Structure 1
Amino acid sequence: MAVEVSVREICGELEITALEPGSGSISFQTPEISRPGLQFTGFYEKFSPKRVQLIGNAEMYYLYSLTPEQLADRMERFMGLHVPCIVCARGNKPPEILLEKARHYGVPVFITNRTTDRVGHEISSFIQKKLARRILLHGELMDIYGTGVLIRGESGLGKSETALDLIQSGHRLVADDVVEVSRLEERLVGRAPNATKHIMDVRGIGIIDVRYLYGMSAILPEKDINLVIDLKKLEEYLDTEEKAVDAMDILGLPVPLTPLPISPGRNVAVLVEVAVRNFRLKHMGFDSEREFELKLK
């Protein structure tokens, strides 16, 4: 599997500078990063050219120690393998010969002032997210007491209004109406599509920007999904109570599911908060229902 990402997007997302843009885009096949010190000396056994190549202090000092002829020869062989891109850490500008060979072979070259370890981790995480399996789900994704909660339900049940009440109570919005979900190993990460970041569509009011109405503390760019709360009409809840399942499958991972019946007069936001508190207690090993049953015995 491969994913094509533009150089402009990479510069914007990772806050790095392009010294050479290459073809203008990069095809990533793996989130793994390589430090090409051995390759610069001529050792290529077990080398993977599919990885992003990260140059730190040691590699850069070695390149500057070579004669122009040696450097040209090493870069000709290295760039000829068509690595995805090269990233120079700690603000170390590469030799001009490296840039010339990268330009000739269409290999993008970036530079950043960040440390090698830090930028390596950020690049790997960025690529991993791009390569991840993803789907779009209908609902509201909120950060409630530090728990990622996906609130689902039929249209017209008041999901957006519930989310607004939760924001008023100090909880944070991740996505309204449409949630983009990616699977990263054993985690499910949700975020808003780019077009709807910070935006809510509230029936009767229209489009609002939560970032400006409530401040940056009311939003979150992404959140792991830990719990799904399924809003249901009371009559539907009663009809399906015996068949209720306790987990929802998302991209092959089970996520705890709590059905929540709603009817006129019920404060849904407060009920959602209670459901999340109860979920957190169970996660810590305390089950109120089980404790109550034990007292009755």
Structure 2
Amino acid sequence: MSEKKITVLDLLDLDLKGQDSLNMKCIAGRSGLYREITVSDINRPGLAISGFYESFAYERVQLFGRGESAYLGKLESEGNFDLIKKFFTYEMPCIVFSHSIEPSEFFLSVAESSRCAVLQTDLISTDFSQRLLRVFSNIFAPKKTLHGVFVEVYGVGILLIGESGVGKSETALELVERGHRLVADDIVEIRCVNGNSIIGQGANKLISHHMEIRGLGIINIAQLYGVGAIREQKEVQMVIKLEAWNQTKVYDRIGTKGAFIDLLGVKIPIIEIPVKPGRNLPIIIEAAAMNERLKTMGYYSAQEFNQNILRWIETGAAQRDYYGKEDSY
């Protein structure tokens, strides 16, 4: 797991589109674009510009909306320039004005001399805050890479892991052929979002939808099967470990004992599927995906089976069936 660092310039250069776009531009203090953003949060500095600096979260991005901007105008009209100068004595990552608000020349000149970047967006404060926090959630989320194949089967994100050559890519290719979608092959990057969700995607977006099939080579899933056969990212909801069949190992045959794997502090259900000739892995994985969806709806097949067996035993029918049969020998 590696720590992510981002500068104000990196934030401006992010390729964000649609509902994720921040619509920002730098209007002053370009020399401060290389300041690092270390806290994934936003501060509204209304109290600070009024002179109250106790618990001032200066290490956060400072957002000026209409209220803060109106108060700045009031300070300047009253000649309270010292309060504005004191505000810039704190080393803030950057300042953002929403609603396309144009700060005064005095404010911009102090920002220039303090080497603090002043940015502007045409978004309203609420929309900008929500979008920036989503961006921060992705940037600062704990991350690591795994060797495996990530697919979406019946809406369930399934991470296939196992030793090299066990058949992960071939299984995923058959799943794509059956109408499911590939998220990433070989190297999967996962990140923890909101402390309880694991989001997976290709570690390299340029090659994540290519697949290596031994004996065939590299194939492009999007080109062969269309864009409907791929996804950019998906929540990891199940891990399936493929392993060569081991005659001495006892595999779970009922499924009443759920196993979990820890991924970045989040427990994800995991099942082990032994691989040997004659087993139809894609159908087994499809059944596992549908069974997982049933579990999220509150239905547990294995538990119901176990309860039915117990009720059958308690009624005495099992004893009558056993002792009522004559010995045929």
Q: Same fold (TM over 0.5)?
A: yes
Structure 2 letter corresponding to 1:123: L
Structure 2 letter corresponding to 1:248: I
Displacement of 1:3 after TM fit?
4.4
Give the corresponding residue for 2:11.
10
Normalising by the residue count of structure 1, what TM-score does the alignment of the two structures yield? 0.85
Structure 2 letter corresponding to 1:18: K
- The answer on whether the counterparts of 1:92 and 1:111 sit within 8 Å (CA) in structure 2 is yes
Give the corresponding residue for 2:321.
none
Structure 1 letter corresponding to 2:276: S
CA 7–213 in structure 1, closer or farther in 2 if over 3 Å, else same:
farther
Q: Which runs of 5+ in 1 are unaligned?
A: none
Q: How large is the RMSD of aligned CA atoms in angstroms?
A: 2.9
Q: Does 1:285 align with 2:286?
A: no
Give the corresponding residue for 2:60.
51
Give the corresponding residue for 1:225.
236
Q: Percent identity?
A: 34
CA–CA separation in structure 2 for the residues paired with 1:213 and 1:76: 61
Give the corresponding residue for 2:263.
250
Give the corresponding residue for 2:251.
241
Give the corresponding residue for 1:157.
166
Counterparts of residues 74-85 of structure 1 (less than 5 Å): 74-85=83-94
CA 208–43 in structure 1, closer or farther in 2 if over 3 Å, else same:
farther
Counterparts of residues 1-297 of structure 1 (less than 5 Å): 3-11=4-12, 12-14=14-16, 15=21, 16-19=23-26, 20=28, 21-67=30-76, 70=79, 72-184=81-193, 185-194=195-204, 196=206, 198-203=208-213, 204-235=215-246, 239-241=249-251, 246-296=259-309, 297=312
CA 87–282 in structure 1, closer or farther in 2 if over 3 Å, else same:
same
Q: Displaced runs of 4+ in structure 1, greater than 6 A?
A: none
Normalising by the residue count of structure 2, what TM-score does the alignment of the two structures yield? 0.77
- The answer on whether the counterparts of 1:34 and 1:51 sit within 8 Å (CA) in structure 2 is yes
Query: For 1:30-88, what per-residue CA distance to the aligned partner results, in whole angstroms no more than 9, with x for missing partners?
Result: 22211112222222222111111112222223334443784753432222201112222
Displacement of 1:195 after TM fit?
5.1
CA–CA separation in structure 1 for the residues paired with 2:87 and 2:197: 36
- The answer on whether the counterparts of 1:28 and 1:127 sit within 8 Å (CA) in structure 2 is no
CA–CA separation in structure 2 for the residues paired with 1:267 and 1:231: 12
Structure 1 letter corresponding to 2:91: H
